[in-house]
Amino acid sequence: MSGKVRDYSKLAADILKAVGGEENVIGATRCATRLRLVLKRSNPKAKEQVASMPGVITVVENSGQFQVVIGQHVGEVFEEFSNLVNIETSDVENENKGTIVNRIIATMSAVFAPFIYILAAAGILQGGLILINLLFNSFAETGTYQVLSFISWSPFTFLPIFIAITASKHFKTNTYIAVACCAALVSPTWAEMAAQIAEGTNISFLGLALTQTTYTSSVLPPLFLVWILSYLERFLNKRMNEVIRPLFVPLLCMVIMVPLTIGLIGPITTMGANGIANGYNFLAENAPALAGAIIGSFWQVIVIFGVHWGITPMVLANFDLYGRDSFQAYQTIAVIAQVGAVLGVVLKTKSQETRKVGISAGITGIFGITEPAIYGVTLRFKKPFIFGCISGAIGAIAASFFHPYYFAYAGLPGPLTIVNGINADYPMSIWGILLGAVIAILLPIILIQLFGYGEETAKEADSNNTKETQGQSEDFVSQVNEEIIQAPLIGKVVPLSEVPDEVFSSGMMGEGFAIVPSDNKVYGPFDGTVVMVAPTKHAIGLRSKTGVELLVHIGLETVKLDGIPFGLNVKEGDEFKKGDLLIEFDQEFIQNQGLQTITPVIVTNSAAYEEVIMEDIKESAFHQKMMTVVK
């Protein structure tokens, strides 16, 4: 299920309860689309429970994390979750750290995700300036350009300070001490001293010769600084008198950590980051087609498991060392291939809801965010995801013959950042990226039109190819591969897309319709079992004998009514027949509370079926056929 979540506090509380409560949560971070939790104990049932919550797209357990994929509203949910869990003071020593690889990936995610949109915005601004300079050669000489240029570079220049803020929260150390230490790394005075060392001047600290390494735009030096600082600060806090602690802990931390970093930690970690970057560059320079094929085909697979943040230090090292990077060029093509796969589904599908979800996911993909496209469309139907990966590989291989590069960092590589590949010294770069992008967006569309997207075997269940009797109004005979869903309410039928709540209208929860009821009863839409009744009685989950799962949500925001206007005739586990009275409700009471009675009816396991075919009906009636679910 997915969509906009209005009651963020409730969703956060529900997630916390499902994963075992505050005592089971070691850490909580977020990225562009995911709430990432580190748990002491994993509950096998928690994944399915959380994934079924309204507003949650899916749940991924990987890299030692319980990753709740929410989408664009993850920030609001994370804020509410943070208010429920005291992460800052949790016992680090009790943390279930997991493997080294998992810890590294989790750290990169926690550090970079909170400010990735800042870097993305700065990268888009740089791309815009590149375009303007192409159109107006004299623009680079203007004060306007100079101001916009230094604005775009500022987040990268002072990247260690951003890292200090997020890393201090991840490693649970004092943020202000971390910022003070990392600010020293980007001090203009140190830059001047490093320049003097580069020119041959010997400068030492307590006899230790300093190197010419500078730390603007650096990643690993500030990251390691804060990590070691967290141990140093805890050591000092435990052993220092509380009267002098507020002053002398920051003092000792700064005078120890800053020289230690510029003298030892910085040079070593910088060499490590540069070594990794050079290793990738060796592959990209000597076997560019292989590098392109690997990134183009597997990048989105990496995104599924949420481990894509681990590549960030290498990419930033490339920009710092050479002012360019080929990884993001290939990465962009992989992203565009998933957008192309979504467009292919939109063009192919006969389902209005699938088309609506696809358009929404495609728009977010334009901005370089592919999780909605992956979980909402391409991976859901499997074929589009595979076609996207194949197209990404082919597009990246084609681009590799032009030696494509990005010359400005893109926080979220995608269609909008293609201009970052423009550079006068590498004129063929942009042409390679454009060629790869064209292949990546067109090829999956063609493949899906030719081979379908996973629903192509579904046939419309109209009057010409069903076995139902003409004029029969009280019963329907389903074909072997079909399930007939009757109207659970009587009233005006409204497309799900017009429900004024994005949790339902987005289609992420599944396909279906909505009814504005003209009476006050909910009837059994098929023969089945009650599998869920909301504690506040406003929603009921039903499962047919063939496995179709249906949610009937009476009204919008009616959870606030604490069950007052609802009367249940069934309970969880009860079996029922088509037409049985399940719930009675007081419409007038609901409306008097200022709430709407429009009732979404959703097949929550739509992804398990080839097609959900809606009837073109304006008014529902008792035993009225509303839709056909095709296996």
For residues 615 and 622, is the Cβ–Cβ distance under 8 A?
Answer: no
Instruction: Just list the catalytic residues.
Output: 31, 553
Q: Which residues contact 342 (CB under 8 A, 6 or more apart)?
A: 358, 361, 362, 365, 373, 377, 378, 384
Residue 364 and residue 263 in contact, taking contact as beta carbons nearer than 8 Å: no
| Cα–Cα distance for residue pair 189/476, rounded to 1 Å | 82
How many CB atoms sit inside 10 A of residue 245's CB? 14
Give the DSSP letter of residue 424.
T
User: Residue 330 has which token pair?
Assistant: 């290939």
Report phi then psi at 21, rounded to 5.
Answer: 85, 175
Strand, helix or coil at 623?
coil
Q: Are 237 and 251 in contact (CB under 8 A)?
A: no
Q: Distance (Å, rounded) from C-alpha 481 to C-alpha 464?
A: 16
Q: β-strand 575-576 against 599-603: which pairing, if any?
A: unpaired
Q: Which region, left, alpha or beta, applies to residue 91 given φ > 0 means left and ψ of -120 to 50 means alpha?
A: beta
Query: Could you tell me which of 363, 295, 300, 302 has the C-alpha nearest to residue 329?
Result: 295
* Sign of the C-alpha dihedral computed for residues 70, 73, 74 and 77 taken in this order: negative
User: Residue 58 is encoded by which pair of tokens?
Assistant: 């899916």
Distances (CA, A) of 533 to 6, 198, 520, 549: 21, 71, 18, 13
